[in-house]
A and B are shown apart, each in its own frame.
Chain A
Amino acid sequence: MAGQGTTVATAPVETARRAHVGNGKARALIGPGLCTFLIFAVLVALGALIFPSSYFYRVGTLVWINTLAVTGIVVLLGYVGLVSLGHAGFFAIGAYATAIGPNYGIPSPLAMAGGVALAGLLALVVGRPILRLSGYYLAIATLGLGMLIWMVLSKEAWLTGGPDGMTVSGMNARNLFKLVGLKLKSAEAWYWVAGFVAAIGAAIAVNLANSPSGRALRAIHDSDVAARSLGIDVARAKSRAFVISAIYAAVAGALLALANGYITPETGGFMHSVEMVTMAVLGGAASVFGALVGALILTALPQLLTVFADYEHMVLGAIMVVTMIAMRRGLVPFIADLWNRRKS
């Protein structure tokens, strides 16, 4: 099992990195992480330049929040080659902690941090024993974990408001900008905050990929056994990646709760987990730019096509199957390859 991916797997990571972080002098000069951050920052600003109304800002905010969550999937799926079908659960833990905290006198930032820590801890406790085993066990266990979290959120109405969801009070990003004398509409303020956090998240993920632990993860992606024989503690490295990706999801969830001001248990539902994986798979799970492209397409599509809602399941399912068969590495590396071939 583990051996099959050997020749296939490093190639996409390498190509994606070379093609998108750039192979040039800029990258050598400022480092891949900062380079990624700057590219993201430019894209965030570009969005702000062309958006005509608050509605666009709200959709844009959603794109950045999803990009952040999907970046976590990239770390897990793209770097290590593990599938989680319960990431919406971690997302919801971040979101609900941020929503519930202020009701008990805990200030929003503290509640956020608590939710993120809780998600990371849960991933650690659940992930450790499962990740000793390989293959599909994580997918099955996270499928169950996600459902359990969703169940708790729907049934414990005294805490979470039940299936109807709950309003989120507390922070507004406008006030952050007021401190420095900028007057922004609420939707605009959240857009900038979400874009900024997504850019930082992407930079961290890119730096991780180029660090010794990141290289260990990619070695595991190629072959568990080969990595182990090189002295890599495979279970530990996998568990670390799982915790990191859970943290990404929880931060994204907390941001969504604050930006939306309202959350429902569906943020933790199975379909949301599937959506995240589909975004990563569509864009290309090997790079953060794949996360961005996947998140952009699958967030914007339902806004553009109103019929999308009726066929959402079929479209998502078809995207997963077709991408995996026709362009296994996703859209970004696929197009990059076409581009490179034309040039040479």
Chain B
Amino acid sequence: MSELLQFLISGITVGAIYAAIALGFTLIYNASGVVNFAQGEFVVIGGMTAAALIGAGVPVWIAAPLAVIAGMLVGVLLYRLAIRPAGQAPLVSLIIITIGASIFLRGAMQAVFDKQIHRYDGFSGDAPLRVGGATILPQSLWIIGGSVAVFAFLAWFLNRTRAGRGIRATASNRMAAALVGINTGRAMNLSFALSAAIGALAGVLATPVTFTSYDVGVLMALKGFSATMLGGVGSPLGALAGGLLIGLIEALTAGYISSDYKDASAFIVILLVLFLRPQGLFGARIMERV
């Protein structure tokens, strides 16, 4: 029983990370229709930047926001230098562009930082807390709290603020949004910045538990994708639920089946979703515009 509880705790912890990645991914998708394969790199940028700063002696409460800002800047650069110049490119070109950007960022990370695996101490220490018969790291609470906060923030921002509603209007019809006076260019910039910041935040929070290195971005992106697809593409609630479910499935696979193949579970989920329920758990039926 306590064993199962332990697996559930670790599942929810990593699941919260995947949920944050999926939320960032959903934000860009909703605003621009771009499936951003570089989403995982934001997580790495956050983690690596924070690790480098903390390693250099910067206190964590300064290093963490700086790392998030670094991710945000890269997000805006990604939009300005790679996505916007492509204009009305076909879907397949946009996929290749974001893959290219992801590989480029991976290389840049290797050049700017190094090829080592990094971690730093948890924000509230690394002494595990006892819960029932299991233990939980204080950092896990930070991660779970962070993801819930991101979700709440997005729900508030997209529904209640002018800028957020601008993003949603741009998403549903760019030209109509522009016609009623919404600055669609700013909305796109904002959605990339926010999405990247969310990814970087996930990296900053997760690194004490999961570690980071320059090449984990693509795996993170894959987990984020499976969370998104399981929850339903485009639905923030789906992203949150999908992330937690993927985390749980992964932890249970690692615990009861094989830790060698825990990363495979995300892929199996993708396939099953595509086979059985392409619209995901919370998604609307897939409709295509012709």
A positions within 8 Å CB-CB of B: 1-5, 8-9, 77, 81-83, 85, 126, 129-130, 133-137, 139-141, 143-145, 147-148, 151, 155, 223, 225, 270-271, 274, 277-278, 281, 310-321, 324-325, 328
Contacts and interface: CB of A to CB of B under 8 A. Distances in A.
A144 B89 contact: no
A277 B96 contact: yes
Interface residues of B, number: 48
Contact of B97 (A141, A270, A320): A320
Given A1-B289, A2-B290, A320-B99, A144 B271 contact: yes
B260 to A, nearest CB: 5
A313 B99 CA distance: 11
Interface string B8-29: 0000000000000000000000
B62 interface: no
A82 B107 contact: no
Chain B contact surface mostly: helix
B93 A314 contact: no
B100 A144 contact: no
A270 B218 contact: yes
A85 B103 CA distance: 12
Contact of A141 (B92, B102, B271): B271
Given A317-B107, A328-B89, 12 more contacts: A1-B91, A2-B288, A2-B290, A126-B271, A140-B35, A140-B222, A144-B222, A144-B266, A151-B261, A270-B218, A317-B102, A319-B100
Nearest to B33: A1
A4 B85 contact: no
A82 B92 contact: yes
Given A3-B290, A140-B225, A225-B290, A314 B270 contact: no
B111 to A, nearest CB: 7
A216 B141 CA distance: 54
Chain A contact surface mostly: helix
Taking each of B35, B37, B93, B286, which has the highest tally of chain A beta carbons within 10 Å of its own beta carbon?
A: B93
Contact of B106 (A129, A313, A319, A325): A313
A136 B274 contact: no
A310 B278 CA distance: 40
Interface string B227-266: 0010000000000000000000000000000001101101
Given A143-B218, A324-B97, A317 B263 contact: no
B111 A314 contact: yes
B92 A140 contact: no
Contacts of A314: 103-104, 107-108, 111
Interface of B: 35, 37, 81-82, 85-86, 88-93, 95-97, 99-108, 110-111, 218-219, 222, 225-226, 229, 260-261, 263-264, 266-267, 270-271, 274-275, 278, 286, 288-290
Nearest to B258: A155
Given A1-B91, A137-B274, A321 B101 contact: yes
Nearest to A4: B90
Contacts of B260: 151, 155
26 contacts: A1-B91, A4-B91, A81-B90, A83-B95, A126-B271, A129-B275, A133-B274, A140-B270, A143-B218, A144-B222, A144-B266, A144-B267, A147-B222, A148-B267, A155-B260, A313-B107, A314-B103, A315-B107, A317-B104, A317-B105, A319-B100, A320-B97, A321-B100, A324-B89, A324-B96, A325-B82
Given A3-B290, A77-B92, A325 B97 contact: yes
Taking each of A137, A140, A270, A328, which has the highest tally of chain B beta carbons within 10 Å of its own beta carbon?
A: A140
Contacts, number: 138
A130 to B, nearest CB: 5
A329 B222 CA distance: 28
Contacts of B267: 144-145, 147-148
B111 A318 contact: no
A136 B91 contact: yes
Contacts of B92: 77, 81-83
Contacts of B229: 140
A141 to B, nearest CB: 6
Contact of A320 (B88, B103, B270): B103
Contacts of B82: 321, 325
Contacts of B90: 1, 4-5, 8-9, 81
B88 to A, nearest CB: 6
Contacts of B104: 313-314, 316-318, 321
Contact of B93 (A139, A316, A324): A324
A43 to B, nearest CB: 27
A133 B107 contact: no
Contacts of B219: 147
A321 B97 contact: yes
B113 to A, nearest CB: 13
B230 to A, nearest CB: 12
A204 to B, nearest CB: 23
10 A-B pairs closest in CB distance = A320-B100, A313-B107, A317-B104, A144-B267, A314-B107, A317-B103, A321-B100, A5-B90, A136-B35, A317-B100
A294 to B, nearest CB: 13
A217 B202 CA distance: 41
